[in-house]
Amino acid sequence: MGIKGLYSFVQQTPSLAHHIEWPLHPTTPLVSPQRLVIDGNAYVYFLYCGRLDWIQGGQYQDFAELLRRHISALCGAGFDLAFLFDGPLPSQKHQNRLERDTEKITKIASTLQELDRTTRTAGSTVPASSMRRLFLLPPLALDVTLQTLRTLPVTFEVCAGEADGAVAKLARQTGAYVMSRDSDYFVYNIGDAGYIPLDTLKVPLNESQGQNIVATVYHPRDIAMHLGIPPALLPLFASLAGNDYVSSHIFEAEMLAYSHDTASGGPAGQAKAPGNSAFVRIHATAMFLQQYAGTSGQFEKIMDDIVAKIHQDDDARMKLRAMLAESVRQYDPLATGEVDADALKGIPSHIVTAFREGRFSFKLMDVLTNNIFWCTPFLEDVERENAWVMSRELRRWIYAIVRAQANYNTATPTELITEYIRRGDHLSLETIPPAVLTELATILHPITFSTQLLADPTVSHRLFLHILHADSLAIRALPPHHAVLAASLRYLIHTAAHPPSAKTALSKLANHEILALVIAGLRSTSTIPADLATNPTAPPLTRRALHLSAQFQLVLVCVHLLSQVFALPDGTPLAWLYDGAVFHRAMALARGGAELDRILTGAGVAKVEFDAVMGAVEEGFGEEIEVAIGFGSESGRREKGRVAKKVSGGKSIGGRMGADAGSENRGNIFSVLALGCNFDDE
């Protein structure tokens, strides 16, 4: 986030901006590649927002393809790319994280209101400006990015804490440009190349968009000169003006009072102008620091002097002094890097290595270092129980296994994990006990269970499938991608049949919903549009469908985390497991009575693959299917006789649409079973 209002303030002075172009295909070989150090989290947000329809849920294959094209264009222009990603946030930013997640809940509510409005207006769609303003990053986007980067000629690393300081340090060491969307980079000592805000970057993805990469470069030394202070005072300026560590109102009164006394009619006089408060604060803070221009290296003395001017008691001033010093320290990459590295002390080296390589999620590291799991809000029906609850049992196993892998005692867990999760319209704190690993002993009988067995890949894979209620011959016979999809669906169905609370399930899951999830997970890469900005018209979206979409994506998140704590091979591209646009389109087509072949062909799904996955989902799962999945009758009322029986003896989720369906019914996916289903989707 950075310094509130500083980017807009800088944009008001065109002379601070340096516009640069690089040809997509240089005619002469470069003596050496131009280096770019990229804030990975900001890059993912920038690339997805405004380019793909996030409201339908993750369009992960499209996003992976967009990543490949974008990065290929940068590399083709002669750039050497290094990505750095955030790890667990430091404790000082805990409150900041709470505020951001609370803001996401507000965005969810606003998005639902927009959708309700457009649903009432025929032919209306959510405006693109609203989609950007309310943007929420789909749950798997970051992990899809890490998997995709492994296939590209770039380097990347996950940092022990926030990436900002590491980005600045690496750019300074290598003479690279910094690329991000954080005004803190106007303050960091990033070296001579400069800072490129991502929203100024234009990368042509086809010939019609041009032949040059265009960007705007800023230099912190120019910003300091414009403010009238030495570059060394920029960290103090950021702290006094307000950043992620010090609220902008804390020192504002003192800054404004000084500027008023020093220059009557100046910035303080502008404070009454609407929309100018951030600029006034920035002007006033710069004016205040100008008096210390000759002593810029004496930070301790300057901070003492500043705090002494605060009209509060000694205890309050001491707290402000410590807060100010901590904020200034954040702009010293050496100091912050040491603190972040200390947070990983005691974690086994193999876990730290996997974490740095993006094979062990920062969410898992947060569990190990802070006993915290952030259930990041995503678009769902806020009037229902949080979509993360559906995957809570998975997380209990994750907490137990990750602690065992880190050599923590989990036989009788005494330390609870704190989950931050949406409840209603606010963020709530809930404590969750890890599962007890000795419960797995019966699975391995006659082998005696021990945590050392978790290092055995065969044992780990067996336990992984068991936890997902998916250790079957049919699952094991599938290709890895299809096996993970089927296993995740079995977990979803099992949890719907045995919900952790009465509020968790969406009443009964409809058979057409399960079939749509299968199709969304089997979508072919051949259906990716050549122009990623052009996608088929989105069908009307319902709250029920959005909530199920969120539930399943968050199940996939937790399945991925479970595979990481078991250190299973990273062989399944997450981008293949779900496509929100395909899911909603398949649901709409099914409600309209479309033929199965049409739906499968449109999504690029082979019927033989569809049947194999459906068979694996259903195998030995008759009782769960009977409880969890609703089928319709021709009279429009649900009848127990229409509910799927065990696969070995009768109907399946797809009913007569299985591989052996009668020819008179083949092709119409819900001609019988969908009758009587609640298509109002609540």
pLDDT at 47 over 50: yes
Query: How far apart (Å, rounded) are the C-alpha atoms in residues 243 and 188?
Result: 13
Kindly provide the residue ranges of all beta strands, DSSP E only, lying in 319-434, ordered along the sequence: 372-374, 417-423, 426-432
Do 193 and 254 lie in one domain? The reply is no
In the predicted model, what is the mean pLDDT of the chain?
84
Please tell me the predicted confidence (pLDDT) of residue 337.
58
Residue 134 lies in a domain: yes
Same domain assignment for residues 221 and 233: no
pLDDT digits (tens, 9 = 90+) for 74-87: 999 999 999 999 99
Number of independent structural domains in the chain: 2
Conformation bin of residue 123: beta by default, left when phi > 0, alpha when psi is -120 to 50 = left
Q: Indicate the pLDDT class of residue 646, thresholds 50, 70 and 90.
A: very low
Tell me if 209 is assigned to some domain. Answer: yes
**Within this chain, do residues 143 and 244 fall inside the same structural domain, yes or no?**
no
Look at residue 663 in the predicted model and tell me its pLDDT: 35
Global confidence as pTM = 0.88
* Residue 84 near residue 163 (C-beta atoms within 8 A): yes
Q: Residue 643 pLDDT > 80, yes or no?
A: no
**What's the pLDDT score for residue 121?**
64
Any domain includes 144: yes
Domain that holds residue 303: 229-338
Among residues of the chain, what percentage have pLDDT more than 90?
56
Q: Is residue 646 part of a domain?
A: no
* Residue finishing a domain among 287, 320, 338: 338
Q: What pLDDT sits at residue 268? A: 37
One-letter amino acid of 111: T
54 with 175, same domain: the answer is yes
The pLDDT score that the predictor gives to residue 150 is 96
> Is residue 243 located within the same domain as residue 136?
no
Q: Do residues 111 and 379 make contact, with C-beta atoms less than 8 angstroms apart?
A: yes
Looking at the fold, whether 26 and 133 belong to one and the same domain comes out as yes
Asked if 88 contacts 370 with a C-beta cutoff of 8 angstroms, the reply is yes
pLDDT in tens, 13-44: 999 999 999 999 887 766 667 999 999 999 99
pLDDT for the residue numbered 500: 77
pLDDT at 532: 46
Highest mean pLDDT among 70-74, 302-306, 659-663, 678-682: 70-74
DSSP labels, 530-578 = SSTT--PPPPP--HHHHHHHHHHHHHHHHHHHHHHHTT----S-GGGS-
CA–CA distances in Å: residue 470 to residues 27, 101, 473, 486, 621: 55, 33, 9, 8, 9
Mean pLDDT over residues 348-364, rounded? 95
Question: Taking 80 as the threshold, does the pLDDT of residue 602 lie above it?
Answer: yes
96 with 209, same domain: the answer is: yes
Domain endpoint, select from 306, 338, 370: 338
User: CA angle 299-300-302, nearest 5°?
Assistant: 65
Same domain, 180 and 276: no
Q: Give Cβ neighbours of residue 156 (< 8 Å, ≥ 6 apart).
A: 40, 82, 83, 84, 85, 146, 149, 358
Kindly tell me if the per-residue pLDDT of 681 is higher than 50. no
The arithmetic mean of pLDDT across residues 356-373, rounded, is 95
Please indicate whether residue 262 or residue 97 has the higher confidence score (pLDDT).
Answer: 97
Pair (63, 151) in one structural domain? yes
- 63 and 126 fall within a common domain: yes
Q: Quick one: 212 and 319 in the same domain? A: no
Is residue 182 over pLDDT 70?
yes
- Of the candidates 236, 248, 242, 245, the one whose C-alpha atom is nearest the C-alpha of residue 299 is 236
582 within some domain? no
Query: How many Å apart are CA 387 and CA 139, to the nearest integer?
Result: 12
Task: Output the pLDDT for position 653.
Answer: 67
pLDDT grade for 286, boundaries at 50, 70 and 90: very high
Q: Are 16 and 10 in contact (CB under 8 A)?
A: yes
Is the predicted pLDDT of residue 241 greater than 70, yes or no? yes
Q: Is 278 inside any structural domain?
A: yes
Q: In this structure, is residue 448 part of a structural domain?
A: no
Q: Is residue 253 pLDDT above 50, yes or no?
A: yes
Q: Is residue 204 part of a domain?
A: yes
Q: Which residue has the higher pLDDT, 603 or 420?
A: 420
Do 201 and 326 belong to one domain? no
Instruction: Provide the CATH number for the domain around residue 39.
Output: 3.40.50.1010
Q: Which of 317, 338, 359 is the last residue of a domain?
A: 338
123 CB burial (10 A radius; 0-12, 13-18, 19+): exposed
pLDDT band for 647, please (50, 70, 90 cuts).
very low
Average pLDDT over residues 151-178: 95
Q: Which of 86-100, 194-208, 447-461, 638-652 is predicted with the least confidence, judged by mean pLDDT?
A: 638-652
| Residue 131 pLDDT | 79
